[in-house]
């Protein structure tokens, strides 16, 4: 019964993935958090994003150089206050051109 085993595996994966998503949401009553913990959670998005971006971005395309070029373009556009769509298309366009040319 290969299929029922597959199903069990998927259900098991679903359960262990859902729990860490669900429990803090239900159990943390955040109004009562001490200030230092509140500050801690303020920083979480920045730290998470940074570890997700770097250094993995370098291996996201066919060559680290094109990824670096795309990354720098995206960074400059974002720093210049451009909207998310432009940042993403600018970055992708940079990679595309670089790989086409080099």
Partner 1 sequence: MKTGLPIAFGYFPIAVAFGLLAKANGLPAITSILMSALVFAGASQFIAVNLWATGMGGGEIIITTFLVNMRHFLMSATLARRLGPQPPKVKSLIAFGITDETFSLVVMQPEYNRVPGFVAGVNTAAYLGWVLGTAAGSLLVNGLPAVIQSSMGLALYAMFIGLLVPGLKGSKANVTVFGLTLVLSALASWGPSWLTAIGKGWKVMIITVITCSLGALLFPEEEVKDAK
Task: For the segment 24-83, give every residue that binds partner 1 (CB under 8 A).
Answer: 24-26, 28-31, 33, 35-57, 60-62, 66-67, 70-71, 74-75, 77-79, 81, 83
Do residues 61 and 95 lie in contact, with contact meaning Cβ atoms separated by under 8 Å?
yes
- Nearest-10 crossing angle of helices 84-101, 64-79: 150
Other C-beta atoms lying within 10 Å of the C-beta of residue 87: 19
Shortest spacing between CB 29 and partner 1, in angstroms: 8
Applying CB under 8 A, among 4, 11, 64, 102 the residue interacting with partner 1 is: 11
DSSP states of 28-84 as a string?
--GGG--HHHHHHHHHHHHHHHHHHHTTGGGGSSSSHHHHHHHHHHHHHHHHTT--H
- With CB under 8 A as the contact rule, the residue among 4, 20, 101, 102 that binds partner 1 is 20
Q: Which of 10, 65, 101, 102 binds partner 1 (CB under 8 A)?
A: 10
Residue 1 engages partner 1 in binding (rule: CB under 8 A):
no
Least distance from C-beta 93 to partner 1, angstroms?
A: 8
């Amino acid at each position: 019964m290969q299929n029922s085993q597959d199903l069990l595996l998927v259900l098991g994966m679903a359960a262990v993935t859902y729990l860490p998503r669900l429990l803090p949401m239900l159990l943390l009553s955040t109004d009562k958090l001490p200030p230092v913990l509140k500050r801690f959670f303020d920083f979480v998005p920045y730290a998470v994003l940074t570890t997700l971006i770097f250094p993995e971005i370098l291996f996201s395309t066919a060559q680290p150089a094109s990824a670096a070029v795309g990354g720098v373009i995206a960074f400059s556009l974002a720093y210049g206050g451009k909207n998310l769509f432009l940042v993403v298309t600018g970055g992708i366009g940079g990679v595309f051109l670089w790989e086409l040319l080099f």
